[in-house]
C-alpha cells in the first residue's frame, strides 16, 4: 500500500499487481487508517484511490491460503473490511476513484465509497463472490443506494462481469476513457477540486453523508442548520469577496 500527499491530494495506491491488488486483512485495516489520517490533514483537498499497473483496480480479498480475510475472529466486534467501509463513508474528504482495471468482489466496495470514479474502458466490474460459495454481504451495504435493486440482485446472484460502459450507464462510474487518457481525465477532476474551497469540500461531504438516510423533510431541516455555519467560515467570506472583486479566491489553506 502506497501513500503520497502531493499538491493537496492524498494518493493511495493498492500496490500488489502480482495479486491483482487483492487485499489481506492487515491491508484492509491499513487502508482505513490511511483514509482517516488523510482526513485529519487540513491542507488536503481530496483522496485519490487507485491500483498499481493496469490489469486490476482491486480483485477484492486475497484468497491465498494463510492470507484470506475469511477466517472470522470472533474476539473482534467488526471485520477489517467493514471498518474500512466505515472509514471511507465517514471520510471528511471527497474520495476519487481511478479505476485502472478490473474491479471485482470487495473491490466493488472500494468503488462504493468513492464520490467520483473515472474508469479505463477495459475495466470490468463484478460481484463474483457466489462463484466461490460466498455472497457480497458487506459490499452491498455501500452499493444498495447506488444502483437499481434488480441490477444489484442480478450482479450479486450471477457473478457476471459488467463492462465499463454499462457501469457508467448505471451511474457507478462518472466517466469511461481509453486507458491512455485515464490520467488526463483524473487530473482534470483533481484540478477542479484544487480550485474549490477546502471548507466547502469538507462541510459538503459531511452534509451529503448525513443526508443519505433522511426523508426530504429531515434533509431540508438539516440543510437549514448548515447554512449559517457555512456562511461564517473564512472561505465563504473570502469567496464572496473575491466574487465581488472579480478575482480568484485565495483560500486560507
Whether the CB-CB separation of 183 and 194 falls below 8 Å is answered with: no
The beta strands (E) that lie in the chain are given as 2-6, 9-14, 46-51, 56-58, 95-99, 102-104, 116-120, 124-126, 162-163, 175-177
Q: What is the pLDDT of residues 220-242, one digit of tens each?
A: 999 999 999 999 999 999 999 99
SS3 210: helix
Q: What is the pLDDT of residues 36-68, one digit of tens each?
A: 999 999 999 999 999 999 999 999 999 887 655
In angstroms, the first-to-last Cα distance of the chain is 27
The angle at the Cα of 4, spanning 209 to 46, to the nearest 5 degrees, equals 25
- How far apart are the C-alpha atoms of 93 and 46, rounded to whole Å? 5
**Residues 141-151: what's their mean pLDDT?**
94
**Which triple of cell numbers denotes residue 165?**
460502459
- How far apart are the C-alpha atoms of 35 and 197, rounded to whole Å? 20
| Fold for the domain defined by 2-194 | 2-enoyl-CoA Hydratase; Chain A, domain 1 (3.90.226)
SS3 244: helix
- How far apart are the C-alpha atoms of 154 and 125, rounded to whole Å? 13
The reported pLDDT for the residue numbered 76 is: 72
pLDDT above 70 covers what percent of the chain?
A: 96
The model's confidence at residue 124, banded by pLDDT at 50, 70 and 90, is very high
Among 1, 209, 4, which residue's Cα sits nearest to residue 87?
A: 209
- For residue 4, which phi and psi values (nearest 5 degrees)? -145, 130
The string of DSSP codes covering 24-54 is -HHHHHHHHHHHHHHHT-TT--EEEEEESSS
Q: What is the pLDDT of residues 179-214, one digit of tens each?
A: 999 999 999 999 999 999 999 999 999 999 999 989
The model's confidence at residue 78, banded by pLDDT at 50, 70 and 90, is confident
Whether the CB-CB separation of 83 and 30 falls below 8 Å is answered with: no
Per-residue pLDDT for 69 more than 80?
no
- For residue 21, which phi and psi values (nearest 5 degrees)? 55, 30
The reported pLDDT for the residue numbered 253 is: 78
SS3 103: strand
The model's confidence at residue 72, banded by pLDDT at 50, 70 and 90, is low
pTM of the model: 0.93
The reported pLDDT for the residue numbered 252 is: 81
Beta-sheet pairing, 2-6 with 46-51: unpaired
The string of DSSP codes covering 54-77 is SSEEE-SB--STTT-S-S--TTSS
Amino acid at each position: 500500500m502506497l501513500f503520497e500527499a502531493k499538491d493537496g491530494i492524498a494518493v493511495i495506491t493498492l500496490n500488489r499487481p502480482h495479486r491483482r491488488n487483492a487485499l489481506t486483512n492487515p491491508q484492509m485495516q491499513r487502508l482505513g487508517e490511511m483514509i482517516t489520517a488523510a482526513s485529519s490533514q487540513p491542507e488536503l483537498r481530496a483522496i485519490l484511490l487507485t491500483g498499481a499497473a493496469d490489469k486490476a483496480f482491486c480483485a477484492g480479498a486475497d484468497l491465498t491460503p494463510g492470507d484470506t480475510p475469511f477466517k472470522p475472529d470472533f474476539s473482534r466486534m467488526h471485520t477489517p473490511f467493514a471498518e474500512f467501509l466505515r472509514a471511507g463513508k465517514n471520510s471528511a474528504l471527497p474520495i476519487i476513484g481511478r479505476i485502472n482495471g478490473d474491479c471485482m468482489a470487495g473491490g466493488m466496495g472500494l468503488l462504493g465509497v468513492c464520490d467520483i470514479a473515472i474508469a479505463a474502458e477495459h475495466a470490468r466490474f463484478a460481484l463474483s463472490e457466489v462463484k466461490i460459495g460466498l455472497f457480497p454481504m458487506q459490499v452491498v451495504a455501500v452499493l444498495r443506494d447506488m444502483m437499481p435493486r434488480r441490477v444489484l440482485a442480478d450482479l450479486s446472484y450471477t457473478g457476471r462481469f459488467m463492462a465499463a460502459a454499462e457501469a457508467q450507464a448505471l451511474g457507478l462510474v462518472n466517466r469511461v476513457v481509453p486507458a491512455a487518457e485515464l490520467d488526463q481525465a483524473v487530473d482534470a477532476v483533481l484540478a477542479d477540486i484544487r480550485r474549490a474551497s477546502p471548507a466547502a469540500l469538507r462541510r459538503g461531504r459531511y452534509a451529503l453523508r448525513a443526508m443519505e438516510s433522511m426523508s426530504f423533510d429531515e434533509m431540508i431541516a438539516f440543510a437549514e442548520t448548515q447554512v449559517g455555519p457555512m456562511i461564517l467560515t473564512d472561505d465563504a467570506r473570502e469567496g464572496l469577496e473575491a466574487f465581488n472583486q472579480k478575482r480568484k479566491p485565495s483560500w486560507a489553506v
